[in-house]
Amino acid sequence: MRILIIGYGSIGKRHYAILKDFKIVKNIDVVTKQNIDNIKTFKTLDDIKDISIYDYFIISSETIKHYKQLKYICNKVSNKKILVEKPLYDKKYEDIKTNNKIYTAYNLRFHPIIEKLKEILKNEQIYYANIICGQYLPTWRPKSDYRKSYSADINQGGGVLRDLSHELDYANWLFGEIDTMQSINTKISDLEINSDDIFTAIATTKNKIIINITMDYISKTPIRQMIIHTKENTIQANIIENIITIDSKSGKRKTIKLDKIDRNWTYIKMHQEMLDNNDKILCSFEDGKNIVDIIHNIILK
């Protein structure tokens, strides 16, 4: 298995560090302008003489570059595996016709809490879900200046709506496709960024479930949780603490404590599914485009 990683920022480095330990992986090259010891690098995709030698491509560059790079790869190769970091694109583009297997890197689908909720909710009549996600941008990546990150720059595809679009993806995955939405997406804080730092919305799904979603860069307390009201239960899920509590109509409480996971766990699981050709949980190309459509419609309002 030969792999090409396009982009070597924090997420590209994470993909490299994880994949180099897979036994099936024989070689990993990187497209980056950085000079990296002991890794074969190319400044651009055009510098690669024969791109077809790679079996698995990972696009982990700035969001604004995703579409152009994906289209380039799809014009050069066939029947390959391609993983594009989330969100798939920075805006809507014309469709890419290809026979490559393309997925979007919504790795949070592989989080034990999300997987457990998927199982629990199969037998529930869901009324309403409240989803909250927030973390203070300056402390999110402590080894780098937040003001120089792509998250801070709307022109690089940054902003909380795109950055934390995991919540949009797993909302669609758990509760059904979002049908209507009213939202506020703006900058309200003193952060030195030109991108949005808060997004809040009330939405309904095609299954007639009401969802409230809030995502932000301003929460000094890291938070990622859900409260779900069903016909029979109220379910609280804390993705950071790995705890689910279920309170029933009768007043009984059930607590499910899952093992804490390594930060790389969901990425490892995602790559394993890619390499095993198992797409049961993976976010498909179509699902990734659907999230782009939702984001596009929010921004247009």
Q: Please give the pLDDT value at position 183.
A: 95
Q: What is the pLDDT of residue 288?
A: 96
Across the range 113-134, mean pLDDT stands at 97
At 30, list the tokens: 């990187």
Q: Judge contact between 226 and 117, C-beta under 8 A.
A: yes
User: How far apart are alpha carbons 141 and 145 in whole angstroms?
Assistant: 8
Spell out a b/e string for 27-41, using b for 16 or more CB atoms within 10 Å of the CB, else e: ebbbbbeeeeeeeee
pLDDT at 229: 98
What 3-state class would DSSP assign to 200?
Answer: strand
112-260 domain in CATH 3.30.450.40? no
In the DSSP assignment, the letter for residue 43 is S
Q: Show me where the domains of the chain are located.
A: 2-107, 112-260
Q: Is 213 in a helix, a strand, or coil?
A: strand
- Cα gap 215→140, rounded to integer Å: 14
Instruction: Report d(CA 133, CA 131) in Å as an integer.
Output: 7
The mean-pLDDT minimum among 1-15, 101-115, 147-161, 174-188 falls in 147-161
Return the structure tokens found at 127: 């009324």
Residue 72 burial by Cβ neighbours in a 10 Å radius (0-12, 13-18, 19+): middle
Res. 12: pLDDT tops 90:
yes
Task: Report pLDDT for 157.
Answer: 79
pLDDT of 149 > 90? The answer is no
Residues 237-265 have a mean pLDDT of 96
pLDDT at 154: 87
213 φ/ψ angles, rounded to the nearest 5 degrees: -125, 130
DSSP-assigned beta bridge partners for residue 227: 130, 236
- For the domain with range 2-107, which CATH number is right: 3.40.640.10, 3.40.50.11890, 3.30.565.10, 3.40.50.720? 3.40.50.720
**Is the fold of 2-107 the same as that of 112-260?**
no
pLDDT of 210 above 70 = yes
Query: Given this model, what pLDDT does residue 301 score?
Result: 64
Task: State residue 75's pLDDT score.
Answer: 97
pLDDT of the residue at 158? 85
Q: Evaluate whether 267 touches 18 at the Cβ level (below 8 Å).
A: yes
Residue 297: the pLDDT is 87
| Bridging pattern class, strands 233-238 and 178-186 | unpaired
Least reliable range by pLDDT among 138-147, 166-175, 262-271: 138-147
The contacts of residue 266 (CB under 8 Å, 6+ apart) are 107, 108, 109, 110, 111
